[in-house]
Amino acid sequence: AQTVTQSQPEMSVQEAETVTLSCTYDTSESDYYLFWYKQPPSRQMILVIRQEAYKQQNATENRFSVNFQKAAKSFSLKISDSQLGDAAMYFCAYKGDQFYFGTGTSLTVIP
Amino acid sequence: ETGVTQTPRHLVMGMTNKKSLKCEQHLGHNAMYWYKQSAKKPLELMFVYNFKEQTENNSVPSRFSPECPNSSHLFLHLHTLQPEDSALYLCASSQVSGGATNEKLFFGSGTQLSVL
């Protein structure tokens, strides 16, 4: 089975600064999708950004961007100009035959 | 109306109780999922329903029984649970088409279950 590893259980960032969350995955497939989901205290997981493995260009969504390194099986999330509302658990996910999730990174934003 | 609604938000039950979790999606999706979320663990896929047919059952104990009466509703019936079953149970939905892998999951806010 595919595995997704998030090696940073907790991260913190100063408001307005930039933070990068790490994610690595293990797969032998060539066609797959990668996701970052955000889970705020309301508990509802919200899709932040998605990357198709066949695309070399890194996905961006406003202040959120990814650094996708397919050969290294790395998929990090960069949050620019961090805001208080960015504080949440962030989950990296891999989608092949099914979804596989990491253990999450808890992000604190310091005012 | 949010896209995926789960009730109840919190549930406390004894090991001999029988209860049910409810999920409803308003997105017109054709697949629904139950996930178990425990602290410091990856989300565990429990059940998948595509077009109302169960397609995955990841070795979930029989004390968890899913029901999908239509493509908009999903239930998880609980009976004789154990304390280690205490967790956040998340429902999700997606639109599956032709076996493509580009689907996205839409989640509800979960039911926080405590088994005493």
pLDDT per position as a tens digit, A1-22? 679 999 999 999 999 999 999 9
DSSP state of A58: P
Contacts of A93 in chain B (CB under 8 A): 105
Contact residues for B103 (Cβ-Cβ < 8 A; gap 6+) = A95, B31, B94, B95, B96, B97
Give the whole-angstrom CA distance, residue B112 versus residue B38: 10
- Among all chains, which residue has been given the structure tokens 């600064």? A17
Give the whole-angstrom CA distance, residue B64 versus residue A106: 30
Contact residues for B94 (Cβ-Cβ < 8 A; gap 6+) = B29, B31, B33, B103, B104, B105, B106
Q: Which among B43, B104, B112 is the nearest to A50, CB-wise?
A: B104
For residue A106, the chain B residue with the least C-alpha distance is B40
Task: Tell if the CB–CB gap between B43 and A91 is shorter than 8 Å.
Answer: yes
Specify the higher pLDDT residue, A56 or B7: B7
Q: pLDDT band at A52, cuts 50/70/90?
A: very high
For residue B37, the chain A residue with the least C-alpha distance is A103
Task: Tell if the CB–CB gap between A46 and B107 is shorter than 8 Å.
Answer: yes
Give the whole-angstrom CA distance, residue A68 versus residue A55: 9
**Which stretches of chain A sit within 8 Å of chain B by CB?**
4, 9, 31-33, 35, 37, 42-47, 50, 52, 91, 93, 95-103
Tens place of pLDDT per residue across chain B (116 aa): 579 999 999 999 988 889 999 999 999 999 999 999 998 899 999 999 987 677 777 789 999 999 999 989 999 999 999 999 999 999 999 988 765 555 899 999 999 999 99
Mean pLDDT calculated for residue range A41-68: 94
Q: What region does A81 belong to: left with phi over 0, alpha with psi -120 to 50, or beta?
A: left
